[in-house]
Structure 1
């Protein structure tokens, strides 16, 4: 039976969804399928934490490069830093020899923030959509996008900037970054038209069959439909096939939980064309695995029996032995005990989308509160809902979220009340127009984040951060603000910036959250390197959702547990502090279940797993 997402494929396809649901695997598999059907295909990753290159074992660049194993397939990864540097040079280059060095330095600094990065990145994105010459050689252009919140922002930008250019009458507060926007007016309008045209564009919402993933997909479906993207398809990935249960209580519980979630699909998803892809025994890496992935639908892999899978070179054999590296602690107890030695501090949970940052942050917050400490749990993730994970009231615990819309509204109001109070009517009108700039979104979130950081000097603040790319933009804003303060205050004055708080190991503990899989561990290591450039260093690693720590007996789940071994050993050898959390039969939501994550014990596993 043909998959819906591969039927009458339009020119542009967007794969989006919550982090960790398999967007990249499905986008890459679709690209392979179309190329092997004789089409010329360009695969584009707009995810700041892209791993398309790792999936194909090919080094990619910001311009198309061929995938050697697949004729007709080219791929590129947009690089926000490279795009921003090129954008800066276009503005600074022509005046570098005309202005004093101090002015050039000021202009360069003004172009160093996240606003410039965002504009430069979406300029590349809109060119691919609106400039026929840039993709004329291809029949299809497939976008592997960042996790949902970041993607909605990206897809909204062409319209936001078109509106701002059309209605803005004053000089924007981010004039430096915006100085090249006017000439892109036609490109933005063309991108908006392409996104809203169902004959040219299809949006593929990817979700796993669990409530949080489906709820986020439903929110994205509604918001993107409101922005004109109504040709939507739903792909449910990693569905446990019926024969995977095999008398395993854990597998049976996971399958039952999935089926319940599928029966209760959110209303926004119920009428969408739908495909179901079965859970694979191993990671989907390499062309053979990508080719076979889309042979898996209706909830069962094309090769579901153990004998067939044993012959597959790209997947581990079913029924193999597995174990946990010696001494790897299961549960968060040791980490929480060490944190609780103080009565305040900042704990930031970071990582790729979909690795369980919200759960880990909520569990740490609940455990600290139950030990009698005052705790503020919050999130910088536009799609984050920590209150939905904690659910129950907990003494000493306050749960909030930094809502971008509310943060922007509060920022605009504050600027108008302060800076605007000293302006005449014309000046206030110009300032109000400035504040409509989409650049102010990151600035507003940064200010809200900074205010919360100050609380960490007198209580615990636990932050569930946005997926990697968005968090790095926030840290970029933090660094830019720090440099501006240092320059304006001079060496003799005492001050404390948000970046200085983050760099203080006595105050801030960074917790990297990952999964025991190739790509999440690789991306966590890359994030660690990005943080090091800002002199920020992880305090601990948490490996979440480990089947090896859960002790499954199902052949399929045991094969996946066996594949975790090398990744668990890598983290154990690399990190100073490590905790592992097992895959659980019941989702860890609600205060009681969250607190249990601090008091887990390893599941004994014999060489046969029985």
Structure 2
């Protein structure tokens, strides 16, 4: 593997959830330790399973890995780090401020930015303190901080004063209020990240369009602040051992097309390709094989038993229940790359086919749905919200109002605050609100919606919901967008996931986030299930068996679950979208 050649002291592995960052990082650690190096593996992945991979309890303590001399590992739990971080800020003022104000501060410190800052805070010593990192030849990090987080840590001036003076909205700067004393440590850590002789950033992706676009965004974002990726690993490419059945051939064709159209920003990086293995990457033999080119055989009957498992029903069963309301709002939510847009389109097409007026709106930057469905389905209207344009308008408006009388440093802080993920969700939510009201008369299906944290931020900051409540008082009845989202008779939230550990964990965290805002997800949809596709080759049957535990896990999290099989062809066009609903695989 080229990314291992002349490896510097620090290696960061980054990419979207479910691409195999942890497996690649663990296999790299084992390989380097096998060369006689002293290696520390640090994971900040919220779905970290490093301990499971090595079959040892690790946690937030440096732990030697039995059977691998020279290798130790550490798992930083991002949520525990964020909770401890919140307590350091909120604890001193508890009992001094009203409960309502404490709740507002706590919510401001409950977003993804706080989690990232807290996690980065935990491992800066490994980058900045020679007394810590000097004992290792290599320190490997499973998950890197985003460019936005690093920029936040580089902001000049006093974050505390900036927030207390009311110059920033409730979003990303809140987590920084207590960090002034650690500026020198952060500066040293950021310098280590920027130095290619000390740090190598490895982008990890699957041979899928969405995954490759994600690492291009990461690469661009980090490149803006002087942190440059040099290597890309394409993980999990279907090998010849998977056979030549129609499903395998179709997957290979899709992978080839995705790699051929790889974004220019990552196409020039040094590239390694890792073949898909039939079994999960658990145990030292599996890890030692991952970075080799050895052919892996699957037993003829090892995975056949998986095909006998009884699965949840097709998406059609959920559509039947949705249809009973005769109108309403359907929100398809989930992390990137799980197929939210496709599931939303399939539901909208099916409802339209059943004779209902339907409005499908999406934030999908590729408007292929509009092109495919425009005028082809009676009763279906398709629109697209441009997140970039909505966010630009929102930022310009805030800078022109709140930033009007700020000095240069204040405007710089405000401008960075407005680059947070929360800002995009707030901006897009304003346009979503219009569609939410339409659901009183027709079915409205929305691809991607604001998280519970964003809704609570809006509420804490004096959002539309609170403004209306204050103005209307007890004199009149009213319904705000937030109230409509909280009403299960009017809104049905579907969490979309894959039958893989990381996507399921991410969806579970999203469910908890929504429930804090009083929104309980109505159903889960497991998309692209190999198990449901009933593959024929032993290799793919073993892969399918890996999904059994994740399907059971999802069923424990929700009393409504639907499974959509992996299709032999891209689900584009009315016929293919229809097969998603019925669960019937359409031949190539």
Same topology, TM > 0.5: yes
In the alignment, the residues of structure 2 paired with residue 570 and residue 161 of structure 1 have an alpha-carbon distance, to the nearest angstrom, of 37
> Which residue number corresponds to residue 150 of structure 2?
158
Match of 2:455 among 456, 478, 485: 478
Equivalenced residues, count:
563
Query: How do 1:339-418 and structure 2 match up within 5 A?
Result: 339-370=322-353, 371-379=355-363, 385=365, 387-388=367-368, 391-395=371-375, 396-401=380-385, 403=387, 406-416=389-399
In the alignment, the residues of structure 2 paired with residue 91 and residue 178 of structure 1 have an alpha-carbon distance, to the nearest angstrom, of 10
> Which residue number corresponds to residue 607 of structure 1?
none
In the alignment, the residues of structure 2 paired with residue 225 and residue 85 of structure 1 have an alpha-carbon distance, to the nearest angstrom, of 30
Query: How do 1:86-105 and structure 2 match up within 5 A?
Result: 86-94=84-92, 101-102=96-97
> Which residue number corresponds to residue 101 of structure 2?
106
Runs of at least 5 residues in structure 2 that lack an aligned partner in the other structure: none
1:189 lines up with 2:187 in the alignment: yes
1:252 lines up with 2:249 in the alignment: yes
> Which residue number corresponds to residue 236 of structure 1?
234
Residues 495 and 550 (structure 1 numbering): CA distance in 2 closer, same or farther, change over 3 Å?
same
> Which residue number corresponds to residue 507 of structure 1?
490
Aligned Cα RMSD in Å? 3.9
Residues 208 and 159 (structure 1 numbering): CA distance in 2 closer, same or farther, change over 3 Å?
same
> Which residue number corresponds to residue 585 of structure 1?
568
1:261 lines up with 2:287 in the alignment: no
1:435 lines up with 2:432 in the alignment: no
In the alignment, the residues of structure 2 paired with residue 32 and residue 385 of structure 1 have an alpha-carbon distance, to the nearest angstrom, of 39
Match of 1:599 among 562, 582, 588: 582
Runs of at least 5 residues in structure 1 that lack an aligned partner in the other structure: 311-315, 605-610
Q: 1:499 deviation in Å?
A: 5.0
Residues 271 and 102 (structure 1 numbering): CA distance in 2 closer, same or farther, change over 3 Å?
closer
Residues 137 and 234 (structure 1 numbering): CA distance in 2 closer, same or farther, change over 3 Å?
same
In the alignment, the residues of structure 2 paired with residue 344 and residue 538 of structure 1 have an alpha-carbon distance, to the nearest angstrom, of 18
1:547 lines up with 2:510 in the alignment: no
> Which residue number corresponds to residue 608 of structure 1?
none
Assess if the C-alpha contact under 8 Å between 1:390 and 1:591 holds in 2: no
Which is further off, 132-141 or 578-587? 132-141
Query: How do 1:18-97 and structure 2 match up within 5 A?
Result: 18-68=16-66, 70-94=68-92
> Which residue number corresponds to residue 312 of structure 2?
328
Q: 1:589 deviation in Å?
A: 3.1
Q: 1:4 deviation in Å?
A: 0.8
In the alignment, the residues of structure 1 paired with residue 264 and residue 389 of structure 2 have an alpha-carbon distance, to the nearest angstrom, of 26
Which is further off, 570-579 or 538-547? 570-579
Assess if the C-alpha contact under 8 Å between 1:365 and 1:462 holds in 2: yes
> Which residue number corresponds to residue 14 of structure 2?
16
In the alignment, the residues of structure 1 paired with residue 47 and residue 413 of structure 2 have an alpha-carbon distance, to the nearest angstrom, of 31
> Which residue number corresponds to residue 423 of structure 2?
444
> Which residue number corresponds to residue 295 of structure 2?
303
Match of 2:196 among 195, 198, 214: 198
1:278 lines up with 2:275 in the alignment: yes
Residues 126 and 509 (structure 1 numbering): CA distance in 2 closer, same or farther, change over 3 Å?
farther
In the alignment, the residues of structure 1 paired with residue 177 and residue 91 of structure 2 have an alpha-carbon distance, to the nearest angstrom, of 13
Assess if the C-alpha contact under 8 Å between 1:281 and 1:318 holds in 2: no
Assess if the C-alpha contact under 8 Å between 1:348 and 1:462 holds in 2: yes
Which is further off, 196-205 or 317-326? 317-326
Q: Deviations over 1:211-239 (max 9, x none)?
A: 33334334444443343233421212122
In the alignment, the residues of structure 2 paired with residue 256 and residue 484 of structure 1 have an alpha-carbon distance, to the nearest angstrom, of 49
TM-score by length of 1: 0.79
In the alignment, the residues of structure 1 paired with residue 17 and residue 138 of structure 2 have an alpha-carbon distance, to the nearest angstrom, of 24
Q: 1:240 deviation in Å?
A: 2.0
Q: Deviations over 1:108-129 (max 9, x none)?
A: 6325313544543443354543
> Which residue number corresponds to residue 136 of structure 1?
134
Q: 1:583 deviation in Å?
A: 1.5
Q: Deviations over 1:184-212 (max 9, x none)?
A: 33334333322222111212122222333
Residues 91 and 542 (structure 1 numbering): CA distance in 2 closer, same or farther, change over 3 Å?
closer
Q: 1:348 deviation in Å?
A: 3.0
Residues 184 and 437 (structure 1 numbering): CA distance in 2 closer, same or farther, change over 3 Å?
farther
Q: 1:104 deviation in Å?
A: 8.0
Residues 387 and 187 (structure 1 numbering): CA distance in 2 closer, same or farther, change over 3 Å?
farther
> Which residue number corresponds to residue 458 of structure 1?
438
In the alignment, the residues of structure 2 paired with residue 64 and residue 496 of structure 1 have an alpha-carbon distance, to the nearest angstrom, of 52
Q: Deviations over 1:148-181 (max 9, x none)?
A: xxx5xx2332234424449999655267644334
> Which residue number corresponds to residue 313 of structure 1?
none
3-state secondary structure, aligned to 1:598: helix
3-state secondary structure, aligned to 1:543: strand
Assess if the C-alpha contact under 8 Å between 1:156 and 1:227 holds in 2: no
TM-score by length of 2: 0.81
3-state secondary structure, aligned to 2:312: coil
In the alignment, the residues of structure 1 paired with residue 39 and residue 407 of structure 2 have an alpha-carbon distance, to the nearest angstrom, of 50
Assess if the C-alpha contact under 8 Å between 1:516 and 1:544 holds in 2: yes
3-state secondary structure, aligned to 1:597: helix
Q: 1:346 deviation in Å?
A: 3.3
In the alignment, the residues of structure 2 paired with residue 536 and residue 183 of structure 1 have an alpha-carbon distance, to the nearest angstrom, of 38
In the alignment, the residues of structure 2 paired with residue 116 and residue 261 of structure 1 have an alpha-carbon distance, to the nearest angstrom, of 34
Assess if the C-alpha contact under 8 Å between 1:450 and 1:498 holds in 2: no
In the alignment, the residues of structure 1 paired with residue 63 and residue 444 of structure 2 have an alpha-carbon distance, to the nearest angstrom, of 44
In the alignment, the residues of structure 2 paired with residue 286 and residue 391 of structure 1 have an alpha-carbon distance, to the nearest angstrom, of 47
Residues 14 and 177 (structure 1 numbering): CA distance in 2 closer, same or farther, change over 3 Å?
closer
